[in-house]
Amino acid sequence: MRVLLFFNLIAVVVLAGALGRVYNGTPLPWVAHEMAPVAAPVAMAPIAVPPPVAVPAAGLPPYVPQPNPAHLPARAPEPVALVTTTSPAPLRILTEAAYPPFNYRGADGLLTGFDIDLARALCQRIKRDCRFVVHRWADLVPALERGEGDVIMASMLIPSPGREAASVGDGIIFTHRYYSTPGHFAARKNGAPVAASAAALAGKRVAVQAGSIHEAFLKDRFASTIIIDAPSLDEAEKSLAEGRADILFADRNALLRWLTSRDGASCCRLVGTDYADPAYFGSGAGIALKATDAALRDEFDAALQGSIDDGTYAAISLRYFGQNIR
């Protein structure tokens, strides 16, 4: 009985050792050949170790690692300054709109005439927008002085000694003339040839507008003529056309306009030469400006010369007068 217990005890010890080996991962001898091979362990990613901080050299600031720019948020764009540009204000051109063929309203009610067309051409040349402001003749200079316009372009004569001196003040300046304003004679086409000289006109009937500078010139330079006064230039033209006068004396440009009309072209023609005494007929018509606008005056003078040089002026003049009135 004791022997049996002894063998049982030995068996228990052996069995316990075998179980211990199993728990430690060692297969039992009798089953080692039946076990599947164990898979190789999976390699683990190495743990990143931060680089050591560099020790600064003597006299240099310590190195500070910078963040990776790829991980930074997008940088906001620099603010852009807004640049505003302002165009010059339109030039205000004062005119009368009651003096054909220079400035008047056409059948459509729109401003037209030699002054108007030339003003538009000059504004285009100086690269300025322009608009017209209409006033009565007597109010043009006061309107300019009040600042209601920038220039006057209304066939205003440039002041000359004894002529138009009282119509403008010292604060007004003028461009060079943009057309001349001489006096001239006209005669009938079918009448006897008439020489426009003081000797040839002695005793001749000369039609002229009463109270005009042309009448004053006749009385001074052609004293031997018989003056036929007419209340208006239209009536003076009729006096010549109907034979009540032998010859007519008036503004050359007005006569040119009449002679391009149906009535004037059929009856009459210019004779003689221009009479351009500044004391009577002025120095021509100019653009009036305030004395403080000398730079603008110079721009208009340059633009006027440019329009003369390239033929623009002559084309506008031909449209209204049939010839160049410069």
Tens of pLDDT, residue by residue over 201-229, are 999 999 999 999 999 999 999 999 999 99
The reply to whether CATH 3.40.190.10 applies to domain 91-180+282-321 is yes
Neighbours of 105 (CB within 10 A): 15
As a whole number of Å, the CA-based R_g of the chain is 54
pLDDT at 36 (0 to 100): 46
Provide the terminal-to-terminal Cα distance of the chain, rounded to the nearest Å. 161
pLDDT at 80 over 80: no
Under the banding of pLDDT at 50, 70 and 90, the label for residue 55 is: very low
pLDDT at 4 (0 to 100): 52
Which CATH number, 3.40.47.10, 3.40.1010.20, 3.40.190.10, 3.40.50.970, labels domain 183-275? Answer: 3.40.190.10
Contact between residue 316 and residue 325 where contact means Cβ atoms under 8 Å apart: no
Tens digit of each residue's pLDDT (9 = 90 or more) over 107-166: 999 999 999 999 999 999 999 999 999 999 999 999 999 999 999 999 998 988 766 544
Tens digit of each residue's pLDDT (9 = 90 or more) over 168-212: 778 999 999 999 999 999 999 987 777 888 999 999 999 999 999
The reply to whether 183-275 shares the fold of 91-180+282-321 is: yes
Contact between residue 117 and residue 316 where contact means Cβ atoms under 8 Å apart: yes
205 forms beta bridges with 226
Separation CA 37–CA 51 (nearest Å): 41
Q: Which residues contact 131 (CB under 8 A, 6 or more apart)?
A: 90, 91, 92, 93
Strand arrangement, sheet containing 91-95:
130-134, 91-95, 151-157, 285-290, 172-174
Whether the model pTM is above 0.85:
no
Burial of 100 (0-12, 13-18, 19+ CB in 10 A): middle
All structural domains of the chain with their residue ranges:
91-180+282-321, 183-275
Strand arrangement, sheet containing 183-188:
226-230, 205-209, 247-251, 183-188, 268-275
